[in-house]
Amino acid sequence: MSEVTLAEGIHWVGVVDWNIRDFHGYITRRGTTYNAYLIQDEKTALVDTVKHTFADELLQKICTLTDPAKIDYIIINHVEMDHSSSLPMIAKYAKNATIVASQRGKDAIIEHYGPDFRIQVVKTGDELKLGKRTLRFIEAPMLHWPDSMFTYVVEDKILMPNDAFGQHLATSERFDDEVDEHVLMEEAKTYYANILMPLAQLITRKLEEVTQMGIPIAMIAPSHGIIWRSDPTKIIKAYAAWSAGAAKNKIVIVYDTMWGSTDKMARAIAEGAASEGAEVKVLKLRASDLTEAMTEILDAKAVLVGSPTLNNGMFPTISAFLTYAAGLKPKGKLWSFFGSYGWGGGALKSMMEMAQKTGFQVNDTSIEVKYVPDKEDLKRCFELGQQITVKIKA
Ligand code: FEO
């Protein structure tokens, strides 16, 4: 097994989950990794563990570097089970180890795995001397759980921020300069859009706080995906832009269709928007997934949602989409709605009520068509695409 070294005495001991495609609903089309790091100095520290199904592999990797009984500290930056669920098993072998976590991390460890751990609580600014090396801790509550914290290796300038700056990307390579940059940024964007989007304000504040701390960052080693070593500022800048709501003159049309009427409307709206120079993405749910839809919405200025009426309401896929979008709280988008019905209608009303209840900015024009859109209906759809484009460009 080849060793992956971040700096002298700092090794990646994580695992690659090549085959996961559904990470609690997030579609991980390129798999993921669970990253853990072993720091060997006068004292030895393991930073995070991995999903329990890979605990044996983590243990095996640790054993190639040291006797697990020599681990002095296990840092638990975050208790979500993809990172902590190997703790009970690893702690049995690392029987001399003290667990290090935030106060809420300690509470969550006990709630997940019971009280039988020796846990040292740390807060922002606390340090742990390992010998030549020092670990400094930075609490990051609600980024993205209450317990979350970052570990910073002072002498090597390595930030280990757990979920932050991660990507669900399974690769045989470990560093940013070894992989396709486009794929890496695409997966980083997908990860931000589907996990961190509702935390934009907290992210902006945390980035400012870390900047004010004046800590130099030579490398960012997250808990999923690739390690940023060639230019860590690239992902920091991307996070700053996404959390500030940076968007293009882009329109995302998310819809579903029963007999093709809403599909025809979506295509006419797309043509109208493109004719005014908007970048347009058209996603039919059941052909695309919610993960992709939210990723496209992240840097768009407008979202148009179309649904046929089914049982006096919106189509189930659209209902799921709006529920998911409401939870991720995309900011600063203009929302507009369209759809078709056979007799009583109901989809448009349901969608608009849900959007208003969520607090979305809803466009004053919406379109509902009976049965099949005729030439005049499609002209109205084309014009809606034009109107939205003019608005977002203004
Ligand atoms: Fe990767 Fe919040 O767990």
pLDDT per position as a tens digit, 41-96 = 999 999 999 999 999 999 999 999 999 999 999 999 999 999 999 999 999 999 99
CATH H-level superfamily of 4-243: Ribonuclease Z/Hydroxyacylglutathione hydrolase-like (3.60.15.10)
Burial class (CB in 10 A: 0-12, 13-18, 19+), 88: middle
- How many C-beta atoms surround the C-beta of residue 70 within 10 A? 14
Q: Answer yes or no: is the C-beta of 162 below 6 A from any ligand 1 atom.
A: no
Q: Which residue is it, tokens 């945390």? A: 206
Q: Answer yes or no: is the C-beta of 78 below 6 A from any ligand 1 atom.
A: yes
Cα of 288 vs centre of ligand 1, distance in Å, is 24
Cα of 206 vs centre of ligand 1, distance in Å, is 18
Q: Within the chain, which residues score under 50 in pLDDT?
A: none
Cα of 305 vs centre of ligand 1, distance in Å, is 30
Q: Which two tokens stand for residue 321?
A: 């989409």
Which residue has the CA at smallest separation from atom 2 of ligand 1? 80
- For 136, list phi and psi in degrees, rounded to 5: -115, 145
Query: Is residue 224 annotated as a catalytic residue, yes or no?
Result: yes
- How many C-beta atoms surround the C-beta of residue 211 within 10 A? 11
One-letter amino acid identity for 203? Answer: I
Cα of 167 vs centre of ligand 1, distance in Å, is 11
d(CA 55, CA 46): 13
d(CA 384, CA 249): 15
Q: Answer yes or no: is the C-beta of 17 below 6 A from any ligand 1 atom.
A: no
Burial class (CB in 10 A: 0-12, 13-18, 19+), 90: buried
Cα of 224 vs centre of ligand 1, distance in Å, is 8
For residue 2, the model assigns a pLDDT of: 76
The stretches of the chain forming alpha helices (DSSP H) are 55-65, 81-84, 87-93, 103-113, 181-191, 200-213, 233-243, 261-275, 290-298, 316-328, 347-358, 375-393
* Nearest-atom index, ligand 1, CA of 78: 2
d(CA 208, CA 200): 12
Sorted by where each begins, the domain ranges of the chain are 4-243, 251-393
Q: Residue 88: CA atoms inside 13 Å, Cβ hemisphere, count?
A: 13
One-letter amino acid identity for 185? Answer: M
Q: For the chain, give me the number of helices (H) and strands (E)?
A: 12, 23
**Strand, coil or helix: 189:** helix
Q: Answer yes or no: is the C-beta of 176 below 6 A from any ligand 1 atom.
A: no
Query: Is residue 163 annotated as a catalytic residue, yes or no?
Result: yes
Q: Is residue 249 a contact partner of residue 278, using CB atoms and an 8 Å limit?
A: yes
Q: Answer yes or no: is the C-beta of 168 below 6 A from any ligand 1 atom.
A: no
Cα of 369 vs centre of ligand 1, distance in Å, is 43
Nearest Cα to 51, choosing from 76, 91, 12, 80?
80
Q: Answer yes or no: is the C-beta of 281 below 6 A from any ligand 1 atom.
A: no
Q: Answer yes or no: is the C-beta of 48 below 6 A from any ligand 1 atom.
A: no
Q: Is residue 190 a contact partner of residue 53, using CB atoms and an 8 Å limit?
A: no
Nearest Cα to 279, choosing from 252, 298, 254?
252
**Strand, coil or helix: 82:** helix
User: Under 8 Å CB-to-CB from 113, ≥6 apart: which residues?
Assistant: 84, 87, 88
One-letter amino acid identity for 6? Answer: L
Cα of 87 vs centre of ligand 1, distance in Å, is 15
For residue 319, the model assigns a pLDDT of: 98
User: Under 8 Å CB-to-CB from 31, ≥6 apart: which residues?
Assistant: 16, 17, 18, 19, 20, 21, 168, 169, 170
Query: Is residue 52 annotated as a catalytic residue, yes or no?
Result: no
For residue 1, the model assigns a pLDDT of: 61
Q: Answer yes or no: is the C-beta of 147 below 6 A from any ligand 1 atom.
A: no
* Nearest-atom index, ligand 1, CA of 34: 1
* Nearest-atom index, ligand 1, CA of 81: 3
d(CA 167, CA 33): 9
Query: Is residue 83 annotated as a catalytic residue, yes or no?
Result: no
Q: Which two tokens stand for residue 272?
A: 């109208």
Q: Answer yes or no: is the C-beta of 51 below 6 A from any ligand 1 atom.
A: no
Nearest Cα to 194, choosing from 296, 116, 96, 118?
296
Q: Which of 41, 82, 139, 176 is catalytic?
A: 82
The CATH number given to 251-393 is 3.40.50.360
User: Measured at the alpha carbon of residue 370, what is the angle toward residues 369 and 376, in degrees to the nearest 5?
Assistant: 50
Q: Answer yes or no: is the C-beta of 296 below 6 A from any ligand 1 atom.
A: no
d(CA 253, CA 288): 12
Query: Is residue 34 annotated as a catalytic residue, yes or no?
Result: no
**Strand, coil or helix: 98:** strand
